[in-house]
Structure 1
Amino acid sequence: MTKTNYDNAVIEQGNLKYEGKAKQVYLTNQPDILWIHYLDQATALNGKVKETIIGKGEINSKISHLLFTYLEKHGVAQHYLKTVSQTDELVQALQMIPIEVVSRNFAAGHFVSHFAVPNQMPLHPVVQEFYYKSDALDDPFINDSQILALGFASPDELAVLRQQAQIINDLLGQLFEQVGIRLVDFKLEFGRNTAGTIILADELSPDNMRLIDQQTGHSLDKDVFRQHTGDVTVGYREVLRRLEQVI
């Protein structure tokens, strides 16, 4: 879809498509365009813990806009179209693939507990993992043969998911390295456009990344909320400040 036909997209009353952990997604008067509203909300334990955090939605919206813009400039096809307010944006409507693609550059979180390895141990090669996107099932791990058997993606599409995740990991890793941040791991989601092409979707923010300040070792992501170690927006604002200097 060309990016020339979305200026008149508006939300029609009652058109909330769904509400996620940190965003609301609305249908618009144009069937191929969705309206995304970022919420001032943080969650943990797959939504079981929830808290209002004033200003978080605006910060995440700005970070996501910057990162999508950066990736697009480097040839990564993605769904972002236009920012319409401090907390709202327009995106292409996609047929979402119910798979979360996780890239791990360093050991953290469940990888540490599952394999009894040191936290922040470098991982070579980069570890890629798939998870079935289902809140009801707590997003279980899913392997290639399970994905194929369930019809979530074809073999060729799985190859595209892996390739795109690696390209995005390389690009984001270089960007964050430039601003003194370690990209530990992160989650991506993808969808098919009307031509059947797989493109990047969802959001790109500290909500779905682990980011570590290279000088201090402090978390700049949602682990601060998960572990109750401070004000989560402090790290988010620092990520935004640094990215604004280079994008």
Structure 2
Amino acid sequence: MELVYTGKTKNVFQLEDGHYLLQFKDDVTGEDGVFDPGANTVGLTIEGAGLAGLRLTSFFYSKLNEQGVPTHYVDANFDDATMTVKPATVFGNGLEVICRFKAVGSFLRRYGAYVKEGQDLDAFVEVTIKDDERQDPPISADALAMLGILSLEEYEILKQRTIEISKFVAAELAKKGLTLYDIKLEFGRDAKTNEILLIDEISGGNMRAYKGDEYIEPLQLEKIMLA
């Protein structure tokens, strides 16, 4: 297999059969040694974070595939902390789609004049452009269409799938007594059919989950969910 991309939290290899292999690392995003799923820099390394992220990702993706939600997930190998996925192309240079159920993080920093910390939000969806140099700026549906990144029709699909998937994840967490505050998802187009697919991971590394007022760390989230 051939290494095609070295990312912050994963390496990507191309396999001979056309699929790709994602190798999960123990690096997580954050700043000054503090984990933050919305950060665009590696903040710290947590031993076991890669495997924990893979195990939880496999758990969620398997259930979504069973429900007929289009994803790039094929299977996972926990011994090697790797996941096999279908080839997909990203929108532009990559988008991140955040679904927010509570006002925390960057949403609170931006709109703190209008909301209180932890205030309920109605599955609010926002899209940011993956651009480390410009700190992943938010972008509107009209701007996405105007710049040729995706059409308004594709944006609506993206938005509805984000809400559907995020509410599914929130419901799974609720079964364990946890509350999902926000989650960051990524989507792409199936390289063969052009269908919009959920890609990347669904793990503690890209969501904020709480038990009451207590924030649940990514490794602890995996233990609770898969116990």
Whether TM-score is above 0.5 comes out as yes
Where structure 1 has 5 or more consecutive residues not aligned to the other structure, the ranges are 1-10, 221-234
Cα offsets for 1:102-135 (capped at 9, x unmatched): 1101110111121222211111x32110101122
Equivalence map 1:85-104=2 (5 Å) = 85-86=78-79, 87-97=81-91, 98-104=94-100
Cα offsets for 1:161-187 (capped at 9, x unmatched): 011011112211111111111110011
- In 2: Cα distance, 1:240 partner to 1:30 partner: 31
Tell me which amino acid in the other structure corresponds to 2:206: N
- In 2: Cα distance, 1:159 partner to 1:243 partner: 30
Tell me which amino acid in the other structure corresponds to 1:55: G
Find the counterpart in structure 2 of residue 65 from structure 1.
58
Cα offsets for 1:215-237 (capped at 9, x unmatched): xx2111xxxxxxxxxxxxxx333
Tell me which amino acid in the other structure corresponds to 1:118: K
Find the counterpart in structure 1 of residue 35 from structure 2.
none
Equivalence map 1:1-247=2 (5 Å) = 11=1, 15-31=2-18, 33-45=19-31, 46-86=39-79, 87-97=81-91, 98-116=94-112, 117-123=115-121, 125-193=122-190, 194-214=192-212, 217-220=213-216, 235-245=217-227
1:41–1:107 Cα change, 3 Å: same
- Which structure would you say has the larger Rg? 1
Find the counterpart in structure 2 of residue 224 from structure 1.
none
Identity of aligned residues (%): 27
Question: Is the partner of 1:66 in helix, strand or coil?
Answer: helix
Cα RMSD after superposing both structures: 1.5
- In 2: Cα distance, 1:208 partner to 1:61 partner: 12
Count of aligned pairs: 214
Tell me which amino acid in the other structure corresponds to 2:204: P
1:156–1:174 Cα change, 3 Å: same
Q: TM-score of the superposition, structure 1-length normalised?
A: 0.82
Cα offsets for 1:81-115 (capped at 9, x unmatched): 11123311101110112221111011101111212
The answer to whether the Cα contact below 8 Å between 1:66 and 1:243 also exists between their aligned partners in 2 is: no
Question: Is the partner of 1:183 in helix, strand or coil?
Answer: strand
- In 1: Cα distance, 2:46 partner to 2:123 partner: 33
1:19–1:239 Cα change, 3 Å: same
Q: Give the CA deviation at 1:207.
A: 1.1
- In 2: Cα distance, 1:182 partner to 1:140 partner: 27
Cα offsets for 1:48-68 (capped at 9, x unmatched): 454332211111111111111
Where structure 2 has 5 or more consecutive residues not aligned to the other structure, the ranges are 32-38
